[in-house]
Structures are given as structure tokens and as C-alpha cells.
Amino acid sequence: SQTIHQWPATLVQPVGSPLSLECTVEGTSNPNLYWYRQAAGRGLQLLFYSVGIGQISSEVPQNLSASRPQDRQFILSSKKLLLSDSGFYLCAWSGDMARSGRSYEQYFGPGTRLTVT
């Protein structure tokens, strides 16, 4: 069966420090991968999505970047964190619609709570 992992679960970082959040998927190949930020009252905001290794699309201009060095690994990074980067970050995966022509449900990880101080 497929599983999705995220770490760390919680992180407290000072302003100006770098960030690296990791997401890995097991039990499937060539998944679509997504990074979301979940904020109270603002719902789920799509930050990045990836349809393959090295293929990253950004939805919102910001202080963050994403990379996909391996098929089932998705990393969210920042060189210098801002206070506004605090939030709950979710990674998700889905099947590849481009191959099947149908939309797949998304499977979410447990999330990372980031607090920038």
C-alpha cells in the first residue's frame, strides 16, 4: 500500500534561517506531488506541484522553493525564513492524470507545523 511521510512534525526556526522540509512517498511510482500551506480561515493554499523529477511548478510567488531530486521525494526549502512563513505545511500525492486522463484523489501527509520566531 502507498504511504506518505513528512518530517519534521514540528519545527521552530528563527527569522533569517534556512528551511528544509521533506516529503517521501512509498508504494507508488511517478506520482504527482504537491506542497500546500494550511492556514485558519484561508484553507489550503497550493504552493508547488510536480509531475516528475526536476519538474516543479510554482503557484504563488513567495520566499519558498521546491525541489524533486528523486521520483518519490519532494523538498520544500527557503534560504531565509520570514515571520510570515509560519504555518502548517502539507505534502500530498496523487496519480498521474496526464497518463490516465482522469483526476485522482490526493493523499495527504501528516503535515509539519513551522513556527518562525
Partner 1 sequence: AQRVTQPEKLLSVFKGAPVELKCNYSYSGSPELFWYVQYSRQRLQLLLRHISRESIKGFTADLNKGETSFHLKKPFAQEEDSAMYYCALSGVNSGGYQKVTFGTGTKLQVIP
Q: Does 43 bind partner 1 (CB under 8 A)?
A: yes
Place of cell 505545511: 89
For the window 22-41, what string marks contact with partner 1 as x by the rule CB under 8 A?
----------x-x-x----x
Q: Is 33 within 8 Å of 25 (Cβ atoms)? A: yes
- Report the DSSP pairing between strands 10-13 and 55-58: unpaired
Q: Is 51 within 8 Å of 27 (Cβ atoms)? A: no
Q: Does 109 bind partner 1 (CB under 8 A)?
A: yes
Place of cell 510536480: 50
Q: Which is nearer to partner 1, 18 or 27 (CB)?
A: 27
Q: Does 87 bind partner 1 (CB under 8 A)?
A: no
Q: Which residues bind partner 1 (CB under 8 A)?
A: 32, 34, 36, 41-44, 46, 49, 51, 57, 90, 92, 94, 97-98, 102-111
